[in-house]
């Protein structure tokens, strides 16, 4: 059983009653924090989002191994031709069903730089597999074709710096400003071979346009400023945040096709991603916590040579999250979170397991 020390020893919550201070410290982890309630070295618990609520104490190192699995499926029907009446189509029908599995193992290191600042480094390893069931265009076959591909390797490493803007306390929320940089250490989509003979788009396009190996990175550098907040409202804790991910454009990009040939794509500029999340948490006892949250991302259209790519649209991703944490000891805790996609483009299910350890 975790016991609180004197109120004067509650470093981050000096104006709150002891019992409620513990609740706040537990629920701070619902936003991914490294908060502690008893002045000890208890690590973060119940992280639902990437942004933290209260930061890692000065001089402490948190090592967090994690594993995440995601599954998504989508169906696409393309009508190539024209209709005479609604029930009669002159042309061909292209039907595709895609099943996608993604597993990510990551090692995250967080170090407390001061009373209100922390530095974070995340190193992911990604395994992906896709299965596409389709009927090829411009053929008279009635047999489904299965196209399977996979990819594995290091993902895009991330470096983040966060700063707690003010002390916070009773009737006063905690605000944390963050800046995250995403690298291009993973294999990008333009270095994998695509199933096209010469071109994947245009008049003489040949092949399926699907990659023979899957990338493990996005292929673009990105910078993400964010602001998160955490507010105590007895008997629950409310938390949330907003962020904007800016992707840096790339020039002279080429796609690798069969026979080692390159298909020039020019300058690509992925759309920015505006995101927000919110939720609440409840402490079941001194060691267990349950939390609920919602995460939403709005992704803008991608541009090629300054013009929006035809067929690309703004994409909305909405995920409903539930997390459960259990404090194993003063130095370790186990957190499990599950997410369900609420929009068509969001992964159907996401499952993550984390075990932060404090040194």
Tell me the per-residue pLDDT of 141-168, one tens digit each, with 9 for 90 and over: 556 677 788 899 999 999 999 998 877 6
If one compares 89 and 9, the residue with the highest pLDDT of the two is 89
Q: Are 176 and 227 in contact (CB under 8 A)?
A: yes
Q: Taken in order 189, 195, 198, 203, is the CA torsion positive or negative? A: negative
Top mean pLDDT of 75-79, 200-204, 280-284, 319-323 is at 319-323
User: Residue 209: what pLDDT?
Assistant: 67
Round to whole Å and give the CA distance between 98 and 107.
Answer: 30
- Sequence-distant (6+) residues with CB within 8 A of 62 are 34, 43, 44, 56, 108, 109, 110, 111, 356, 357, 358, 359
Q: Are 326 and 290 in contact (CB under 8 A)?
A: no
User: Residue 294: what pLDDT?
Assistant: 94
226-281 pLDDT per residue, tens: 998 888 777 778 888 999 999 999 998 888 887 777 888 889 999 999 999 998 88
User: Residue 169: what pLDDT?
Assistant: 66
Q: Are 30 and 47 in contact (CB under 8 A)?
A: yes
Give residue limits of the domains in the chain: 7-358
Question: Smallest Cα–Cα separation from 102: which of 350, 302, 356?
Answer: 350
**Three-state DSSP class for 307?**
strand
Q: Count helices and strands (H / E) in the chain.
A: 1, 20
User: Residue 85: what pLDDT?
Assistant: 46
Round to whole Å and give the CA distance between 64 and 59.
Answer: 16
If one compares 30 and 170, the residue with the highest pLDDT of the two is 170
Average pLDDT over residues 104-122: 92
User: Residue 165: what pLDDT?
Assistant: 87
State pTM to two decimals.
0.78
**What percent of the chain clears pLDDT 90, i.e. is strictly above it?**
33
pLDDT band, very low/low/confident/very high, at 76 (cuts 50, 70, 90): low
Q: What are the residues facing 1 on neighbouring strands?
A: none
User: Residue 254: what pLDDT?
Assistant: 85
Domain at 7-358: CATH architecture? Beta Barrel (2.40)
- Scanning the chain, the segments in alpha helix (DSSP H) are 18-28
If one compares 6 and 256, the residue with the highest pLDDT of the two is 256
What is the distance, to the nearest Å, from the Cα of residue 182 to the centroid of all Cα atoms in its chain? 12
């Amino acid at each position: 059983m975790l016991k609180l020390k004197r109120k004067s020893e509650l470093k981050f919550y000096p104006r709150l009653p002891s019992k409620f201070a513990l609740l706040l410290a537990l629920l701070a982890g619902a936003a991914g924090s490294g908060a502690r309630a008893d002045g000890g070295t208890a690590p973060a618990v119940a992280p639902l989002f990437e942004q933290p609520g209260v930061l890692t104490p000065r001089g402490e190192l948190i090592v967090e191994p994690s594993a995440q699995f995601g599954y998504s499926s989508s169906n696409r029907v393309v009508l190539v031709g024209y209709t005479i009446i609604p029930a009669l189509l002159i042309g061909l029908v292209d039907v595709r069903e895609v099943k996608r599995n993604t597993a990510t193992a990551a090692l995250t290191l967080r170090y407390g730089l001061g009373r209100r600042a922390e530095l974070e480094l995340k190193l992911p390893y990604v395994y992906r597999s896709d299965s596409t069931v389709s009927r090829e265009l411009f053929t008279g076959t009635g047999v489904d074709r299965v196209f399977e591909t996979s990819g594995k390797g290091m993902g895009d490493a991330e470096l983040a710096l966060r700063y707690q803007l003010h002390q916070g306390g009773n009737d006063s929320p905690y605000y944390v400003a963050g800046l995250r940089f995403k690298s291009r250490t993973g294999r990008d989509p333009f270095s994998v071979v695509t199933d096209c003979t010469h071109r994947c788009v245009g008049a003489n396009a040949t092949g399926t346009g699907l990659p023979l190996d899957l990338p493990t990175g996005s292929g673009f550098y990105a910078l993400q400023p964010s602001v998160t907040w955490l507010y105590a409202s007895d008997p629950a804790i409310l938390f949330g945040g907003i962020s904007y991910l800016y992707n840096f454009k790339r020039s002279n990009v080429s796609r690798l096709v069969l026979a080692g040939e390159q298909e020039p794509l020019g300058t690509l500029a992925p759309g920015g991603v505006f995101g927000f999340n919110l939720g609440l948490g409840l402490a079941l006892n001194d060691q267990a916590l349950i939390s609920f949250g919602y995460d939403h991302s709005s992704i803008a259209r991608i541009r090629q040579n300054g013009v929006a790519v035809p067929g690309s649209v703004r994409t909305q991703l909405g995920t409903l999250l539930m997390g459960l944490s259990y404090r194993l000891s003063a130095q370790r805790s186990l957190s499990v979170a599950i997410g369900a996609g609420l929009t068509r483009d969001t992964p159907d299910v996401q499952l993550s397991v984390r075990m932060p350890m404090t040194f």
